Copies of this chain bind each other. A is one copy, B any other.
Amino acid sequence: MREGMDNFEVLRHIPLFGGLPEDQLRVLAQCASQKSVRPGRQVFEDMAHSPGFYLVVWGRVKIFKSSPEGREQTIFVFGPGELFCLTAFADEYSPASATALEDTRILFFPAEVMEGVARREPALLFGIMLALSRRLKEALAVIEALSLQEIPQRLAIFLTHSLAKEGQGDSFELPFSQRELAKIIGATPETLSRVFRKLSDEGVLSMDGRTIRILERSALGALAQGDQAAD
């Protein structure tokens, strides 16, 4: 999606709204508001009243939990076109915090307008339900990683997914710092950096700034499957 698009143009590019008739899309577009968020600035806070739905127009937002001492665990990272979908309409608070990872443009829909359109258009309701169910699956994968997988396996899974999703040939650009990546896979920055070094020494990958090149896909695949080689 391009800079300067109006709400209606943005909505027409989102698959979730694809089944909506134009008049309902206009209802949503009219009530939605766009907002720019600078890197590191908060979109909303954990346990805050959740007034509606958020969509990333461009940029990237992380959803995370934090401890009183300031430690963080990132749960999701949302990019362009993604609806957050962390709550149903009737929910009274957001179950985590959201902060922009880079210059980000957000589209916000008040819950009652979205609910009104969803009641008239069950396709939208089904779409939101499907998105919620996808979030739940992703959350269950995070639980599996934190409780049952070692750091090298978690990193290998992240790299495998990133390569499949954003890779060009054998390499892809890490869309955020290693520090942010550590919060996603639940490692300290030191441990993450040690595992990266080990994989690099073993010839599995090479790094140049944020560009990661996978040299041995089969070794990475084995590690992602739980092979303990790089541990």
Contact = CB atoms under 8 A, between A and B. Distances in A.
Contact of A90 (B95, B130, B135, B226): B130
A65, A91, A133, A148, most chain B CB atoms within 10 A: A133
A87 interface: yes
A125 B132 CA distance: 13
Given A95-B137, A133-B87, A137-B95, A147 B149 contact: no
A75 interface: yes
A133 B130 contact: no
Contacts of A195: none
Nearest to A122: B119
B65 A144 contact: yes
A186 interface: yes
Chain A: interface residue count, which band? Answer: 35 or more
A126 B73 CA distance: 30
B73 A129 contact: no
Interface string A132-155: 110111011111101111000000
Contacts of A135: 136
Contacts of A75: 140, 143
Contacts of A71: 147-148
Given A88-B129, A129-B132, A226-B68, A147 B95 contact: no
Given A65-B147, A91-B137, 17 more contacts: A67-B148, A67-B149, A68-B226, A73-B144, A86-B136, A88-B129, A88-B130, A88-B132, A89-B129, A91-B130, A95-B136, A125-B129, A129-B132, A135-B136, A136-B139, A142-B143, A147-B186
Interface of A: 65-68, 71, 73, 75, 86-91, 95-96, 119, 122, 125-126, 128-130, 132-133, 135-137, 139-144, 146-149, 186, 226
